[in-house]
Chains A and B, each alone.
Chain A
């Protein structure tokens, strides 16, 4: 296609030193390099968060265990949750968005490259600040190490009186800083998608990944900011003597919950919508059919974006809101399942009648389809307030959201890795190792999270560091922990594959999957300028048009 890289013999330059190469990465404003840094950063924290989870599971493997103390256990679940949401899921999805969106819309970079770099480094240093708490606490001030207040950091537990020392401040400040980074990326993506599409690419011809990242970015602007506001209020309470959450002065503990969950619930939709985007790009290519119902997919996502802003208090059913409030949030939480279900039907509709190729990216996407459906269903169960009154703060809830996050989000992310790694590095990942990764992880995931629902139903609360024998929970906890080791093995296979294939993988070429969007029209890896000539598109599948000039899409769209 005419937008390949220019074949120019490069002027011979001396090999650059390692210092120059590192400097290049540190000062870069190139969306591709920043995307890669986001992704690598997130993978490192994925391993750290996974270690935190493994330690917790070992502690809970048998009753009355003494693997870690209760204080350390509290720090573990706080750091695990905070790390996984803010320093794994968000960065990895921003990384993919940064890398792919300009390529897919035929642009040379994001709208604000320096803001892009600034956002990345804010996020990166935020994560380092959070983990500095592990070292910087004890010894310096004699009180507080890693935060131990849960990833929701409910006030007034986080007030100065109940959380002396600085552990809560590390939580607050690191998320405040990385929150501003995320807002910057959101602004950047909106400006890029609305202003920098190549000629011919109307909003109706944009890849669904671009559409869904646009919706996600809009949500970021009004979702991360309530958390920032609440955190500023918390800092005012802790250091300036404010009373926002001080019940003794007439303040309200519930107001933190409202502000946090006004952030917290749309946040998980911010996490899942880019994963819907991966599904919408990968499933059509491996079904050899265009996505079923493109306009409905866009409309459903916009609806999800709006409705998700109205469901937050389903995290607060147990605090004693009025029955009107409980009913309202129960109803909206059930309604949000409707557009989501429509999207599931559309992916199935895409696969129906297609010629399915069971390559690794598709395997992970099919896993997503089943698992996200089940996770959504347990969510709908929890949306019913009376059901939630029994199961709130139990392992049923923990099982539900891990089913979404691991079974949904992480599976989609793995799929995205296998699909776009060839574009990013120029090499294919190994199909054999990929399948090994998939099956090991599938077994481990289901051992852990399917069976985790049962202790929840049997009454096991969450955030407890141990439990007594004789409650019928022991066998289930043991199975849950065993599943963890399968997942560890799978992730080790994956990391090995990432490294090995970088040097020894089969060379990919521009378009190893015979796909249809613009990123496959340029070299693998793309040159710094992305496209030699800015492409002009006439349909949603510009590469299909180029490869099939006798049967182009624009005749039918």
Chain B
């Protein structure tokens, strides 16, 4: 999983570099001023890392019920993040007229944030599958290591969001 994270980091780095390189270079169309900082969504996503950590700890101590609770919370926080991103994009597309083909800002913004959201979605699918196994009563503490490895992926997704958030909403604006 560490190797996968290294490889994925390289992909994100290229998209971040492209974003930074193209800041201010759009010839026309909406600028980053139309962005509203997604503070609530960010808090949700970063908290989901904390709840994920608590879930894994519960499983290691063989508290499957507790695990299920924290896992469901993680899943929900991740879903809220995606919904919030969807709402933000809805506003950008229909109120501000920003799409991936509008201008350089649109292209680089949707590519970078979209790539991250795609990774969140894949993580969410994994979260749902584990949730399903837990609800079916099949989860035991002997799977702790596997869940721990998966949690590395989720923490990585959160770490990437910290970088993307900083580059897009702090530096880029």
- Using CB atoms and an 8 Å cutoff, list the residues of chain A in contact with chain B: 183, 186-187, 190-191, 217-218, 221-226, 228-230, 232-233, 236-237, 240-244, 249-252, 255, 259, 262
Task: From known contacts A221-B3, A241-B100, A255-B21, infer whether A236 and B107 are also in contact, taking CB-CB under 8 Å.
Answer: yes
A233 touches B10 (CB 8 A): no
The yes or no answer to B63 lying at the interface (CB within 8 A) is no
Q: What residue of chain A has the Cβ atom nearest to residue B15's Cβ? A: A229
The yes or no answer to B145 lying at the interface (CB within 8 A) is no
Among A187, A218, A233, A250, chain B packs the most CB atoms within 10 A around the CB of A250
Of A186, A190, A228, A242, which contacts B101 at CB under 8 A? A242
Q: What residue of chain B has the Cβ atom nearest to residue A186's Cβ? A: B3
Q: What residue of chain A has the Cβ atom nearest to residue B107's Cβ? A: A242
Residues in A with CB closer than 8 Å to B3 are 186-187, 190-191, 217, 221
Q: What residue of chain B has the Cβ atom nearest to residue A180's Cβ? A: B7
B8 touches A225 (CB 8 A): yes
Q: How far is the CA of A244 from the CA of B15 in the complex (A)?
A: 10
Task: From known contacts A186-B3, A187-B3, infer whether A249 and B103 are also in contact, taking CB-CB under 8 Å.
Answer: yes
Residues in A with CB closer than 8 Å to B170 are none
Q: What residue of chain B has the Cβ atom nearest to residue A242's Cβ? A: B107
Q: How far is the CA of A255 from the CA of B108 in the complex (A)?
A: 13
The yes or no answer to B104 lying at the interface (CB within 8 A) is yes
Chief secondary structure at chain A's binding surface = helix
Among B3, B6, B11, B104, chain A packs the most CB atoms within 10 A around the CB of B3
A-B contact pairs, 28 of them (CB 8 A): A183-B4, A183-B7, A186-B7, A187-B7, A221-B10, A222-B6, A222-B7, A222-B10, A225-B10, A225-B14, A226-B11, A229-B15, A232-B111, A232-B115, A236-B107, A236-B111, A242-B101, A243-B107, A244-B111, A249-B27, A249-B104, A250-B25, A250-B27, A250-B103, A251-B107, A252-B21, A255-B18, A262-B14
Residues in B with CB closer than 8 Å to A223 are 10
A221 touches B100 (CB 8 A): no
Task: From known contacts A187-B3, A228-B11, infer whether A240 and B27 are also in contact, taking CB-CB under 8 Å.
Answer: no
Q: What residue of chain A has the Cβ atom nearest to residue B111's Cβ? A: A236
Task: From known contacts A186-B3, A187-B4, A242-B111, infer whether A225 and B101 are also in contact, taking CB-CB under 8 Å.
Answer: no
Chain B, range 34-58, C-beta contacts under 8 Å to A: none
Q: How far is the CA of A211 from the CA of B10 in the complex (A)?
A: 23
B107 touches A221 (CB 8 A): no
> Told that A225-B8, A243-B106, A244-B107 touch, could you supply 8 new A-B pairs with CB distance under 8 A?
A183-B7, A186-B7, A190-B3, A225-B7, A226-B14, A232-B111, A240-B100, A240-B101
Nearest CB of A to B57, in Å: 24
The yes or no answer to B22 lying at the interface (CB within 8 A) is yes
Residues in A with CB closer than 8 Å to B115 are 232
Number of A-B contacts (CB under 8 A): 82
Residues in B with CB closer than 8 Å to A233 are 15, 18, 111
Residues in B with CB closer than 8 Å to A249 are 26-27, 103-104
Q: How far is the CA of A195 from the CA of B111 in the complex (A)?
A: 36
Residues in B with CB closer than 8 Å to A217 are 3
Q: How far is the CA of A251 from the CA of B107 in the complex (A)?
A: 10
Q: What residue of chain A has the Cβ atom nearest to residue B99's Cβ? A: A241
Residues in B with CB closer than 8 Å to A190 are 3
Q: What residue of chain A has the Cβ atom nearest to residue B8's Cβ? A: A225
A250 touches B104 (CB 8 A): yes
Residues in B with CB closer than 8 Å to A191 are 3
Q: How far is the CA of A218 from the CA of B4 in the complex (A)?
A: 11
Q: How far is the CA of A252 from the CA of B3 in the complex (A)?
A: 31
Q: How far is the CA of A237 from the CA of B3 in the complex (A)?
A: 29
Nearest CB of B to A318, in Å: 21
Residues in A with CB closer than 8 Å to B26 are 249-250
Residues in A with CB closer than 8 Å to B8 are 225
Chain B, range 61-82, C-beta contacts under 8 Å to A: none
Of B14, B22, B101, which contacts A259 at CB under 8 A? B14
Q: How far is the CA of A551 from the CA of B3 in the complex (A)?
A: 40
Q: How far is the CA of A252 from the CA of B104 in the complex (A)?
A: 10
Residues in B with CB closer than 8 Å to A221 are 3, 6-7, 10
Residues in B with CB closer than 8 Å to A228 are 11
Q: What residue of chain B has the Cβ atom nearest to residue A190's Cβ? A: B3
Residues in A with CB closer than 8 Å to B101 are 240-243
Q: How far is the CA of A217 from the CA of B6 in the complex (A)?
A: 11
Task: Give the top 7 A-B pairs by smallest Cβ distance, nearest first.
Answer: A241-B101, A229-B14, A225-B10, A242-B107, A187-B3, A221-B7, A222-B10
Interface string of B86-108 (1 = CB under 8 A from A): 00000000000001110110111
Nearest CB of A to B123, in Å: 18
Residues in B with CB closer than 8 Å to A229 are 10-11, 14-15
Task: From known contacts A249-B27, A249-B103, infer whether A226 and B10 are also in contact, taking CB-CB under 8 Å.
Answer: yes
Q: How far is the CA of A262 from the CA of B11 in the complex (A)?
A: 12
B6 touches A244 (CB 8 A): no
Nearest CB of B to A63, in Å: 43
Q: What residue of chain B has the Cβ atom nearest to residue A240's Cβ? A: B100
Residues in A with CB closer than 8 Å to B11 are 225-226, 228-229
Q: How far is the CA of A244 from the CA of B14 in the complex (A)?
A: 12
Q: How far is the CA of A241 from the CA of B106 in the complex (A)?
A: 10
Q: What residue of chain B has the Cβ atom nearest to residue A183's Cβ? A: B7
Chain B, range 106-160, C-beta contacts under 8 Å to A: 106-108, 111, 115
Q: How far is the CA of A416 from the CA of B7 in the complex (A)?
A: 29
Among B11, B25, B26, chain A packs the most CB atoms within 10 A around the CB of B11
Q: How far is the CA of A241 from the CA of B29 in the complex (A)?
A: 14
Among A186, A191, A221, A232, chain B packs the most CB atoms within 10 A around the CB of A221
Nearest CB of B to A236, in Å: 6
Nearest CB of A to B141, in Å: 23
Residues in A with CB closer than 8 Å to B18 are 233, 244, 255, 259
Q: What residue of chain A has the Cβ atom nearest to residue B28's Cβ? A: A249
Residues in A with CB closer than 8 Å to B100 are 236, 240-242
A244 touches B108 (CB 8 A): yes
Q: What residue of chain B has the Cβ atom nearest to residue A221's Cβ? A: B7
Q: How far is the CA of A191 from the CA of B3 in the complex (A)?
A: 8
Q: What residue of chain B has the Cβ atom nearest to residue A191's Cβ? A: B3
Nearest CB of B to A341, in Å: 29
Q: What residue of chain A has the Cβ atom nearest to residue B12's Cβ? A: A229
Residues in B with CB closer than 8 Å to A242 are 100-101, 107, 111
Nearest CB of A to B124, in Å: 21
Nearest CB of A to B112, in Å: 10
Q: How far is the CA of A236 from the CA of B111 in the complex (A)?
A: 8
Residues in A with CB closer than 8 Å to B10 are 221-223, 225-226, 229
Residues in A with CB closer than 8 Å to B14 are 225-226, 229-230, 259, 262
Residues in B with CB closer than 8 Å to A226 are 10-11, 14
Q: What residue of chain A has the Cβ atom nearest to residue B27's Cβ? A: A250
